[in-house]
Chain A
Amino acid sequence: MEDVVSESVVSLRGVRAELGSRPVLRGIDLTVRRGEVVALLGANGSGKSTAVRSVIGQVAVSAGEIEIFGVPRRRFRDWHRVGYVPQRTTAAGGVPATVTEIVASGRLSRARFGMLRKADHAAVRRALELVGMADRAKDSVNALSGGQHQRVLIARALACEPELLIMDEPMAGVDLASQEVLAATLRDQVAQGTSVLLVLHELGPLEPLIDRAVVLRDGCVLHDGPPPQAVGQHALPGHDHVHPHAAHDAEPLRTGLLS
């Protein structure tokens, strides 16, 4: 593995993917370098979720190359270096589970044969403290609010102490208080050198953290550079894009919680 400053932790070159017969990614190039925070923006259906899901191997790629930490994705095995937050509004399954039980499953990538040692339990506790959920550790996730579910999902990703965080819309359905907590958590992680690739509908409270924005439209990269500046009312703190407005400069269009 090369050890240069601009070493890439995620790299997609000419990636194409189809869902059914519909092309969703039509030749995407995307690089996240060490220590960088890259936001993937775009309207619904632009392919941003598919792009991150192709990185983790959840979506089959029909052409192009994907590398994680310089290793082709198919041969990549060091999953403990990657923390993933899937697009969810709930951390609950069909059976009750405590916050700790959910977060501990994020530690499995470092646990041998699924045995959690003292150090692993300590890491789980630290992850819960990072998202401010340590006091709810023994509670059932069913008793949590939407924002707290998201905090649990992020703690689960942080439990393996990853060098790279991949997050798919971590702010969807999250109340303002939790958004602030999540932004602070992410700021700490970035300060410690964690690289981040995250899918966002809008920059929101994470805006100051973001080094680069990649905007997708119809499965193609439309913009790759500094984050687009929000103007007017959209720039106000706490503004939530719940009203439909014209897609301008590939500004994400959000019509409601169902989107």
Chain B
Amino acid sequence: MDILDYAFMQRALLAAVLVGVIAPAVGIYLVQRRQALMGDGIGHVAMTGVGLGFLLNTSPVWMATAVSVLGAVLMELIRWYGKTRGDIALAMLFYGGMAGGVMFINLAPGGSNANLTSYLFGSLSTVSESDVTAICVLAAFVVLVTLGLRRQLFAVSQDEEFARVTGLPVRALNLLTAVTAAVTVTVAMRVVGLLLVSALMVVPVAAAQQLTRSFAATFAVAVAIGVSVTIGGTVTSFYQDVPPGSTIVLLTIGAFIALTALASPLARRRARAAAAAQTAQDPTECAIPATRGPESTVGV
């Protein structure tokens, strides 16, 4: 394998694999709580961190981590307190983050929007030794949280109100999820870029769901898809000279389409089997329209 002869490709592959693991591992909890686009929002906020990193002449990766963690915590606080105007506040945070990034990078000596491009769309081949260290440390944290606390995070993401009555520290767990998502965004920033991060958090989970029935299986399949597409995308970009970030994301969407096509006959068969079991069990039952979702259960 001549691809592994190059040190920069070894670093690139390592970073890509780690992102392939952690992006879906965090994304699954975001999808479960129906906040699929949170990663996108954090990505916008992280731009301010990148800009600040250039301006203050510090590492853009660590500065982006700090700023996006702050942004994610702020989003979580807005979710608690700003019930009615929450969406407007989030929109301001997202676009403020993006505008701040552009502003800071242009204020930095010798800085221009060109510097931003590698962060917006990823720049896998320029991952340095120190980047790899940072990515490894952050990825270890994300894996520890998403696997070690999987039962707690599952409960909170599934039904926050119920989780509170099991005595779980719901707010702390929500904050931890937000921080973990922010860390994942900044790790994935070098691989797929801030604007495409969310795709790698959400699409593998959506693709896995086409096949799976349990949360555990969805988690495993989503991570498997994540790793396959990041390796596939990195290798393709090496041989075909195409940008790795967009290759990875397009491959992920391709996987989603392929699995959906594969799954629909499977789903039909399962539905028929379930319907047969249903009628055998309680023949009097009629379909009840699911008119009330968890969001609208604030009846008094």
Complex Cα distance, B35 from A96, in Å, reads: 15
Contacts of B154 in A (CB 8 A): 97, 101, 105
Provided the pairs A86-B297, A87-B297, A89-B291 are in contact, do residues A96 and B162 lie with their beta carbons within 8 angstroms?
no
Complex Cα distance, B216 from A89, in Å, reads: 24
* Cβ–Cβ contact A140 & B165, under 8 A: no
Report which of B149, B213, B291, B297 forms a contact with A96, defined as CB distance below 8 A.
B213
* Cβ–Cβ contact A90 & B293, under 8 A: yes
What's the nearest-Cβ distance from chain A to residue B27, in Å?
Answer: 10
* Cβ–Cβ contact B32 & A95, under 8 A: yes
* Cβ–Cβ contact B290 & A89, under 8 A: yes
Contacts of B161 in A (CB 8 A): 53, 56, 58, 84, 86
Complex Cα distance, B292 from A48, in Å, reads: 18
Contacts of A89 in B (CB 8 A): 288, 290-293
Contacts of A258 in B (CB 8 A): 291-292
A1 within 8 A of B: no
Among the 9-residue stretches A75-83, A190-198, A202-210, A225-233, the one with 4 or more Cβ atoms under 8 Å from chain B is: A75-83
Contacts of A95 in B (CB 8 A): 28, 31-32, 205, 209, 215, 218
The B-contacting residues of A in range 88-106, CB under 8 angstroms, are 88-91, 93-98, 101-102, 104-106
What's the nearest-Cβ distance from chain B to residue A163, in Å?
Answer: 14
Among the 9-residue stretches B193-201, B250-258, B278-286, the one with 4 or more Cβ atoms under 8 Å from chain A is: B278-286
Provided the pairs A105-B158, A111-B151, A177-B285 are in contact, do residues A98 and B214 lie with their beta carbons within 8 angstroms?
yes
A114 within 8 A of B: yes
Contacts of B32 in A (CB 8 A): 93-95
Q: Which residue of B lies closest to A105 (CB)?
A: B155
Contact with A along B14-47 (1 / 0, CB 8 A): 0000000000000010011110100000000000
Contacts of A97 in B (CB 8 A): 154, 158, 214-215
Report which of B167, B271, B274 forms a contact with A77, defined as CB distance below 8 A.
B167
Complex Cα distance, B292 from A169, in Å, reads: 13
What's the nearest-Cβ distance from chain A to residue B47, in Å?
Answer: 27
A12 within 8 A of B: no
The B-contacting residues of A in range 156-177, CB under 8 angstroms, are 156, 160, 166, 169, 173, 175-177
Report which of A49, A77, A84, A257 forms a contact with B165, defined as CB distance below 8 A.
A84
A interface list, Cβ under 8 A from B:
19, 24, 44-50, 53, 56-58, 77, 79-80, 82-84, 86-91, 93-98, 101-102, 104-106, 108-109, 111, 114, 116, 138-140, 142-143, 145-147, 156, 160, 166, 169, 173, 175-178, 257-258
B interface list, Cβ under 8 A from A:
28, 31-34, 36, 149-152, 154-155, 157-159, 161-168, 205, 209, 212-216, 218, 270-271, 274, 278, 282, 284-294, 297-300
